[in-house]
A and B are shown apart, each in its own frame.
Chain A
Amino acid sequence: MITGNIITDFSLLILFLPLVAFVINILVGKKLPRQGDWVSVGAILITLILSLSLFMTMLMNWDPNFSHEASMTWIDLGAFNVALGFWIDNITVVMLVVVALISSMTHIFSLEYMKGDIRYNRYFAYLGLFTFSMNGIVLANNLISLYIFWELVGVSSYLLISHWFEKHSAADAGKKAFLTNRVGDIGFFIGIMIMFTAIGSFNFKELFAGVSQGMISGSLLTLAGVGLFMGAVGKSSQFPLHIWLPDAMEGPTPVSALMHAATMVAAGVYLTVRLFPLFSPEALTIIAYVGGFTALFAATIAITQNDIKKVLAYSTVSQLGYMILAVGVGNYVAAFFHLLTHAMFKACLFYGSGSVIHAMHHSLHDLKDHDTDPQDMRNMGGFKSKMPITHWTMLIATLAISGVPLFSGFLSKDAILAGTLAFAQHHPHHFLLPIFGFSAAAITAFYMFRLIFITFYGSPKIPKVFEGIHESPKAMTFPLMVLAGLSFFLFYTLPYFNPFSDHGWFTELVKASNSAVPGSPTAAEIYDGVHHAHYPAMALSVLFAGLGIGLSYLMYLKQKLSPKSIANKMGILYKLSLNKYFIDENYNRFLYQPFLKLSRVVAYVDWDLYDKYFINGFGRITKLLSKITGRMDYDGLDQTLVDGVGRTAQGFGKQLKQVQTGRLQNYMLFALIGVIIILVIQTV
């Protein structure tokens, strides 16, 4: 008992255990047996147990309106108060389980994947730091502490992406991730400050109350909403700040699974879910379009990528776009649902790709081949027989992400698409949103099966490498199996068993709350629309998924259609997709280079003009003045006055010394003379 409330205590433990592991590992990890990995794994497993017990409590209470808040004052300046605190409701509890589960799977997976790494203990330490910060975001009940953890997550992401910083590209990717996020975070901070200025609080609930009382409204509210959303754009890698996530794949694969697929990038979505009541309809429209566009845009890039992790990275961007789209159309529960299911199957896919890369790496290592790229799918093929567990688990996750019935992705994707469809029915001029959604669904199914078919089916591209491929050890297949298992619908529809219905513990426990913005549609209205669109959306989404899978099957498994000839026919489109729409190149040309030029001009003004003439001029004048005062002080004052006193005393001393003859008779004579003088003076 730390605070007297068991839920607060559990949350505190969940928050700080990973931090303790971080501190231990970063300080003394190297000296511990096994470089201290057991500290991290132990801490995260306890965190998982605690999170699961909170989850179980939630299920047992079955209270959709459960909400618990605890806070303490952090900064108290009279009128200005900042509190740190927790807000725990069903969304928080689910998110805690997601973070703890994926994080513990990552820890276990890394035991094998990172074996023999030069910075093994530091890797585990950073995982702890990340888990701590992520839980901080999840638990926060106010914008300030959320922002602090938000930045901490950014730091741990930076540290883990650049884990192999000897590689130039990894160091660059870390920097890119950090700086790109910074762009979004500026908007985020502006949003926070607009909210604080208008309402005078950072606390979520007080903000909701303030908005519903109309303390902030109109375009200022929209601006604040867009600002807050910018944070999510950066963190959740939405267009136009999506560029960092694919590069972030330079980090170790388990990190990609944990942070750049399941949890950290979901923080942006979580933020929009948390703050949903604050967004005005205009801000939500912007959110919907950004999300919808990103979903389609990233999906089209994923089609042509050959790096197995890049495909997954763009897929993640696309799926995050889905979630943001769902928030934008007001169906934020669906967004959170997709966050939950996506975390499971996407982490599974990343572990699968990690397992494949691990196998490729070892095979290439045995062949002493350092030129072949272990991540390039064109070097793979036919791995199904060699890596059965990886194949099956990845296949299950792929079915889930493609939205095939009986799998988790079907439920959540369907909920999102239904929400989009319902929104477009109410607002026919927003017809683009469902088009974004459905076409992205078809493309997702297509590229994901392309990945599976190229990697696991067909004939081996490099037979020599194929010979050396082996299934990964248990520490790596175990997380795969757990997460593949969690990709089945059953875990989300319990206590019901209908794989097509939108009823389950999730939808019953996580209820949307009304928007705080006056004049917005209520949660019930939105839910009504979604419910009506449920079956059409389901039919359409299955149809589109089938279309994508079928096309992929024809092209990459049966090879009835040649991908090459299609690529040739598409011409410019193919090139655009392969080169990621030249976004990085254009950013470089139109943003970075002009910025660099501007910086150079500023630097020139600063260094060569300002510093050289103004600052240095001051320096020279000061030097001159100092010389003068120095001369005055040293030669004038010190030499004559200060030293003069000394010299005078010395001179007197020298003279008076003579009197001290050491003969008592002399002293007596002096005394006698003195007496005589006194007598003479007195008589006169």
Chain B
Amino acid sequence: MDNLTNYLLVSAVLFTLGLYGVVTRRNGVAVLMGVELILNAANVNFLAFARFGGNNMAGHVYALFVIVLAAAEAAVALAIIINIFNNFNTINIDDVSELKQ
């Protein structure tokens, strides 16, 4: 039970769920949640490889970095979503299709 494959499976499930959320959710905040899941899937990978690979602290350090980055990213992304709400009066990202020519 305590082998690398299981960890990677959990991580892959997390990543897929996150990706699914990012691609399918209409709510901007939900999309953000998907991104968080993807990041955490990566964290799980880091720690699993650290544990079963070199058995060193590099993975842990990277995981900490990712958590900090995720916090910053969440702050920025929420600010963007607030701006979107101010401009479009909605956070449904299907309605925010100004990029279309």
Residues of A with Cβ closer than 8 Å to B?
Answer: 657, 660-665, 668-669, 672
Q: Is the CB of B100 within 8 A of A662?
A: yes
| 19 more A-B residue pairs beyond the given contacts A663-B93, A664-B99, with a C-beta to C-beta distance below 8 A | A657-B101, A660-B100, A660-B101, A661-B97, A662-B97, A662-B98, A662-B99, A662-B100, A662-B101, A663-B94, A663-B100, A665-B22, A665-B23, A665-B24, A665-B31, A665-B93, A668-B22, A669-B23, A672-B23
Which 9 pairs from chain A and chain B are nearest by CB?
A: A662-B100, A662-B97, A662-B99, A663-B97, A669-B23, A665-B23, A660-B101, A660-B100, A661-B100
Shortest Cβ distance from residue B65 to the other chain A in the assembled complex, whole angstroms:
24
Q: Is the CB of B23 within 8 A of A668?
A: yes
Report the separation of the CA atoms of residues A668 and B94 in the bound assembly, to the nearest whole angstrom.
Answer: 13
Shortest Cβ distance from residue B31 to the other chain A in the assembled complex, whole angstroms:
8
Residues of B with Cβ closer than 8 Å to A?
Answer: 19, 22-24, 31, 93-94, 97-101
B99 to chain A: which residues have CB within 8 Å? 660, 662-664
Taking CB as reference atom, which chain A residue is nearest B101? Answer: A660
B93 to chain A: which residues have CB within 8 Å? 663-665
* A interface, over-half SS: helix
* B interface, over-half SS: loop
B19 to chain A: which residues have CB within 8 Å? 672
Shortest Cβ distance from residue B92 to the other chain A in the assembled complex, whole angstroms:
11
A669 to chain B: which residues have CB within 8 Å? 23
A665 to chain B: which residues have CB within 8 Å? 22-24, 31, 93
Shortest Cβ distance from residue B91 to the other chain A in the assembled complex, whole angstroms:
13
Report the separation of the CA atoms of residues A672 and B101 in the bound assembly, to the nearest whole angstrom.
Answer: 22
A660 to chain B: which residues have CB within 8 Å? 99-101
Shortest Cβ distance from residue A655 to the other chain B in the assembled complex, whole angstroms:
14
Report the separation of the CA atoms of residues A669 and B24 in the bound assembly, to the nearest whole angstrom.
Answer: 9
Report the separation of the CA atoms of residues A661 and B94 in the bound assembly, to the nearest whole angstrom.
Answer: 10
Shortest Cβ distance from residue B82 to the other chain A in the assembled complex, whole angstroms:
17
For B23, B93, B98, the residue with the greatest tally of chain A CB atoms inside 10 Å of its CB is B23
B97 to chain A: which residues have CB within 8 Å? 661-663
Shortest Cβ distance from residue B99 to the other chain A in the assembled complex, whole angstroms:
4
Report the separation of the CA atoms of residues A668 and B101 in the bound assembly, to the nearest whole angstrom.
Answer: 18
Report the separation of the CA atoms of residues A100 and B99 in the bound assembly, to the nearest whole angstrom.
Answer: 91
A672 to chain B: which residues have CB within 8 Å? 19, 23
Report the separation of the CA atoms of residues A669 and B94 in the bound assembly, to the nearest whole angstrom.
Answer: 14
Taking CB as reference atom, which chain B residue is nearest A667? Answer: B99
Shortest Cβ distance from residue A569 to the other chain B in the assembled complex, whole angstroms:
115
Shortest Cβ distance from residue B42 to the other chain A in the assembled complex, whole angstroms:
15
Q: Can you spell out 20 A-B residue pairs with CB atoms less than 8 angstroms apart?
A: A660-B99, A660-B101, A661-B97, A661-B100, A662-B97, A662-B98, A662-B100, A663-B93, A663-B97, A663-B100, A664-B93, A664-B99, A665-B22, A665-B23, A665-B24, A665-B31, A665-B93, A669-B23, A672-B19, A672-B23
Taking CB as reference atom, which chain A residue is nearest B97? Answer: A662
B100 to chain A: which residues have CB within 8 Å? 660-663
Report the separation of the CA atoms of residues A665 and B96 in the bound assembly, to the nearest whole angstrom.
Answer: 11
Taking CB as reference atom, which chain B residue is nearest A669? Answer: B23
Report the separation of the CA atoms of residues A41 and B93 in the bound assembly, to the nearest whole angstrom.
Answer: 97
Report the separation of the CA atoms of residues A672 and B34 in the bound assembly, to the nearest whole angstrom.
Answer: 15
A662 to chain B: which residues have CB within 8 Å? 97-101
Taking CB as reference atom, which chain A residue is nearest B19? Answer: A672
B24 to chain A: which residues have CB within 8 Å? 665
Report the separation of the CA atoms of residues A672 and B93 in the bound assembly, to the nearest whole angstrom.
Answer: 19
Report the separation of the CA atoms of residues A661 and B24 in the bound assembly, to the nearest whole angstrom.
Answer: 15
Report the separation of the CA atoms of residues A669 and B31 in the bound assembly, to the nearest whole angstrom.
Answer: 13
B31 to chain A: which residues have CB within 8 Å? 665
Report the separation of the CA atoms of residues A663 and B25 in the bound assembly, to the nearest whole angstrom.
Answer: 12
A668 to chain B: which residues have CB within 8 Å? 22-23
B23 to chain A: which residues have CB within 8 Å? 665, 668-669, 672
Report the separation of the CA atoms of residues A664 and B31 in the bound assembly, to the nearest whole angstrom.
Answer: 11
A663 to chain B: which residues have CB within 8 Å? 93-94, 97, 99-100
B22 to chain A: which residues have CB within 8 Å? 665, 668
Shortest Cβ distance from residue A455 to the other chain B in the assembled complex, whole angstroms:
102
Shortest Cβ distance from residue A431 to the other chain B in the assembled complex, whole angstroms:
113
Shortest Cβ distance from residue B81 to the other chain A in the assembled complex, whole angstroms:
13
Report the separation of the CA atoms of residues A660 and B101 in the bound assembly, to the nearest whole angstrom.
Answer: 7
Report the separation of the CA atoms of residues A591 and B97 in the bound assembly, to the nearest whole angstrom.
Answer: 96
Taking CB as reference atom, which chain B residue is nearest A665? Answer: B23
Report the separation of the CA atoms of residues A297 and B17 in the bound assembly, to the nearest whole angstrom.
Answer: 130
Report the separation of the CA atoms of residues A240 and B93 in the bound assembly, to the nearest whole angstrom.
Answer: 109
B101 to chain A: which residues have CB within 8 Å? 657, 660, 662
Shortest Cβ distance from residue B86 to the other chain A in the assembled complex, whole angstroms:
18
Report the separation of the CA atoms of residues A665 and B31 in the bound assembly, to the nearest whole angstrom.
Answer: 9
Shortest Cβ distance from residue B13 to the other chain A in the assembled complex, whole angstroms:
17
For B24, B31, B97, B101, the residue with the greatest tally of chain A CB atoms inside 10 Å of its CB is B97
B94 to chain A: which residues have CB within 8 Å? 663
Report the separation of the CA atoms of residues A10 and B39 in the bound assembly, to the nearest whole angstrom.
Answer: 104
Report the separation of the CA atoms of residues A669 and B100 in the bound assembly, to the nearest whole angstrom.
Answer: 16
A657 to chain B: which residues have CB within 8 Å? 101
Shortest Cβ distance from residue A663 to the other chain B in the assembled complex, whole angstroms:
5
Report the separation of the CA atoms of residues A314 and B27 in the bound assembly, to the nearest whole angstrom.
Answer: 119
Report the separation of the CA atoms of residues A660 and B98 in the bound assembly, to the nearest whole angstrom.
Answer: 10
Report the separation of the CA atoms of residues A664 and B100 in the bound assembly, to the nearest whole angstrom.
Answer: 10
Shortest Cβ distance from residue B50 to the other chain A in the assembled complex, whole angstroms:
25
Taking CB as reference atom, which chain A residue is nearest B25? Answer: A665
Report the separation of the CA atoms of residues A664 and B94 in the bound assembly, to the nearest whole angstrom.
Answer: 9
Report the separation of the CA atoms of residues A566 and B54 in the bound assembly, to the nearest whole angstrom.
Answer: 153
Shortest Cβ distance from residue A652 to the other chain B in the assembled complex, whole angstroms:
15
Report the separation of the CA atoms of residues A332 and B100 in the bound assembly, to the nearest whole angstrom.
Answer: 104
Taking CB as reference atom, which chain B residue is nearest A663? Answer: B97
Report the separation of the CA atoms of residues A657 and B101 in the bound assembly, to the nearest whole angstrom.
Answer: 8
Shortest Cβ distance from residue A676 to the other chain B in the assembled complex, whole angstroms:
11
